[in-house]
Amino acid sequence: MSKLTLDRILQSQGFGARKWCRNLIEDGEVSIAGETVDDYRSEFETSDLAFEVYGDEWLYREHVYIALNKPADYECSRKPSHHPGVLSLLPEQFSLRDVQPVGRLDNDTTGLLLMSDDGAFIHAQSSPKSHIPKVYVATTHGAVTSELVAKLLDGVKLNDEPAPLAALVCNKLAEHQLEIVLEQGKYHQVKRMLAAADNHCIVLKRTQIGKLTLDALELDEGEWCHLSAEQMALLVSDE
């Protein structure tokens, strides 16, 4: 962390261009420790800096790491085409500071989605070399049989993949529901694997990434939170 002028602090946090941030400060809309600061050249240490804009409190963050409980009918894209984008569920400041989804969930897939403006973090989480498992719960059209579970564990061949893809773990949860753990993250992978195993996915939800579970975050659909250092440490491979 370092000492920055107030206009640069606001700009870095997604409140707009520096000129806009200067106007915001000069208009008396920014306060620190309960005191209005109207000189944009005022300098502050950014470490643990709390400030208010329009009465809303913010904490300075060099990067943001967000968990979202994604609802259905939202696109994991900064430029959505057919449905609202997931960024519309977050404050506007996050879009302005280039926060983006870490990987993608289909429009109709719900559950745990990570978002960040840290390119290194996004790459590490998205790279197949990281071997970070992701847990999904799928509701199926056909019954979940022992044969279906065996096929998914042994590996199924998808049309555009050179080798069969296999689940790390697959458990039957109910007659038409199973839990499947993957680490590849291929396009529509769960749905395509179930289709290749002669079944069909009706509903799909991601419940866990690494050791971070959606249940532990206690987020309703559409809700989000900043990840703590302890929660970030759970986003690792089981290896």
- Dist CA 41 CA 54 (whole Å): 19
Of all residues in the chain, what percent carry a pLDDT higher than 70? 98
User: Does residue 176 contact residue 215 with C-beta atoms inside 8 Å?
Assistant: no
Does the pLDDT of residue 19 top 60, yes or no?
yes
Say what the pLDDT of residue 129 is. Answer: 82
Catalytic residue among 106, 160, 198, 220: 106
CA dist., res. 109 & res. 102, Å (int): 15
Give the integer Cα–Cα distance in Å for 116 and 86: 12
Banded model confidence at residue 79, pLDDT cuts 50, 70, 90: confident
Tell me whether strands 43-45 and 3-5 are parallel, antiparallel or unpaired: antiparallel
Residue 64 — pLDDT band, cuts 50, 70, 90?
Answer: very high
- DSSP character at residue 63: S
Question: What is the DSSP code (8-state) at residue 71?
Answer: P
What digits encode the pLDDT tens for the residues 120-160?
999 999 887 888 999 999 999 999 999 999 999 999 999 88
Which domains are assigned to the chain? Answer: 3-59 (3.10.290.10), 65-128+212-232 (3.30.70.580), 133-209 (3.30.70.1560)
Q: What is the CA radius of gyration of the chain?
A: 21
Residue 238 pLDDT = 65
Task: Quote the pLDDT of residue 1.
Answer: 56
Structure confidence at residue 203 (pLDDT): 97
Q: Looking at residues 79-95, what average pLDDT do you find?
A: 88
Q: What pLDDT was estimated at residue 162?
A: 84
Rounded to 5°, angle at Cα 101 from 231 and 239 = 45
Q: What is the mean pLDDT of residues 61-85?
A: 90
Query: For this structure, is 118 an active site residue?
Result: no
Sign of the Cα torsion 71, 77, 81, 86 reads positive
Band of the pLDDT at 239, cuts 50, 70, 90? low
